[in-house]
């Protein structure tokens, strides 16, 4: 399968590298305004193929995305000193309004995976442009959303409970950002509620544990950014996993972002919910178990994202 990754910065190059290591794609093309940088990443990653899976690596302009089944969008502009979040949103929206039509002209049948931050609003922008330009349904525009936050949640819970993270079923919903919602009420380990661990004081999930895990999930990006400037390895691996899911039509459940008709009374908003993802994009959106406080928090998160979309005229 061919995947085009638009934006050859840290996230884009990490996603390309992860695709090769996991064998997610047989043809990977990097697209960037800085073609020299994109070419250098492609050449460097090519040299890893003898240690991983066989793949073709190349770089080029948006037209090089021709024939791609998946296009991963990581391109965007950085925040300027003193620039407001809304100004940054507007500039990144302008980038997408110019870029998405070029990509779709080259590969009109591709599924779009959005990773550019703020990812929920940028997913909404990409979906609107794709619909206006090509009539592409919003289900075929998938944001990486809270896939990484959910992975952090499961990893920290698994560490506390001394079980493999793959056996933990717990979700982070809403915005990929400060208003995200850790859905504790529906968290399960092997189908067993967390309360079942209360008989072991070392594994009980009390308020102190919840606060520690919440901090570990919600503040992870801030700690990583403080240490090295940005996050890229985790999300790169997550994007490669989504490419695999689309390639194999897995119908796997991920907390990806997509435009949703209504969430807790907030209409037409892009955010993360558990969704079945396959070759056609979002196949189905699931309704998770939430308590009253979590529903209130999700409504607040949806409202914040709706306000941002309103500011962009979406």
Catalytic residue IDs: 176
Task: Tell me the pairing of strands 266-278 and 281-285.
Answer: antiparallel
Burial class (CB in 10 A: 0-12, 13-18, 19+), 106: buried
CA distance 143 to 211: 27
Contacts of 49 (CB under 8 A, 6+ apart): 20, 55, 57
Asked if residue 260 lies in contact with residue 270, where contact means CB atoms within 8 angstroms, the answer is yes
CA distance 128 to 271: 15
Q: Is 215 left (phi over 0), alpha (psi -120 to 50) or beta?
A: alpha
Helices (H), the chain: 10-22, 35-46, 85-106, 119-134, 147-161, 207-218, 220-228, 233-248, 292-311
């Amino acid at each position: 399968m061919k995947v085009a990754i638009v934006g050859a910065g840290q996230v884009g190059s990490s996603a390309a590298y992860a695709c090769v290591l996991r064998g997610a794609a047989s043809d990977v093309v990097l697209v960037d305004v800085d073609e020299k940088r994109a070419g250098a990443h492609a050449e460097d990653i090519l040299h890893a193929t003898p240690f991983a899976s066989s793949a073709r690596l190349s770089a080029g302009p948006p037209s090089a995305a021709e024939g791609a089944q998946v296009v991963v969008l990581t391109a965007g502009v950085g925040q300027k000193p003193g620039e407001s979040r809304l100004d940054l949103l507007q500039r990144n929206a302008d980038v997408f309004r110019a870029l998405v039509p070029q990509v779709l002209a080259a590969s009109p049948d591709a599924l779009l995976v959005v990773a550019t931050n703020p990812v929920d609003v940028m997913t909404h922008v990409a979906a609107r442009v794709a619909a206006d330009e090509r009539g592409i349904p919003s289900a075929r525009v998938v944001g990486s959303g809270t896939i990484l936050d959910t992975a952090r949640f499961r990893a920290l819970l698994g560490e506390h409970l001394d079980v493999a993270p793959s056996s933990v079923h717990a979700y982070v919903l809403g915005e990929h950002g400060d208003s995200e919602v850790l859905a504790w009420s529906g968290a399960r380990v092997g189908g067993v509620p967390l309360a079942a661990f209360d008989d072991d004081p070392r594994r009980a999930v009390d308020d102190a544990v919840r606060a520690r895990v919440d901090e570990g999930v919600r503040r992870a990006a801030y700690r990583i950014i403080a240490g090295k400037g940005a996050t890229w390895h985790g999300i790169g691996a997550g994007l490669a996993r989504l490419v695999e899911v689309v390639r194999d039509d897995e119908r796997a459940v991920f907390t990806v972002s997509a435009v949703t008709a209504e969430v807790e009374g907030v209409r037409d908003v892009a955010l993360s919910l558990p969704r079945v993802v396959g070759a056609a994009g979002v196949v189905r959106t699931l309704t998770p178990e939430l308590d009253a406080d979590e529903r209130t928090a999700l409504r607040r998160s949806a409202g914040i994202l709706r306000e941002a979309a309103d500011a962009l005229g979406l």
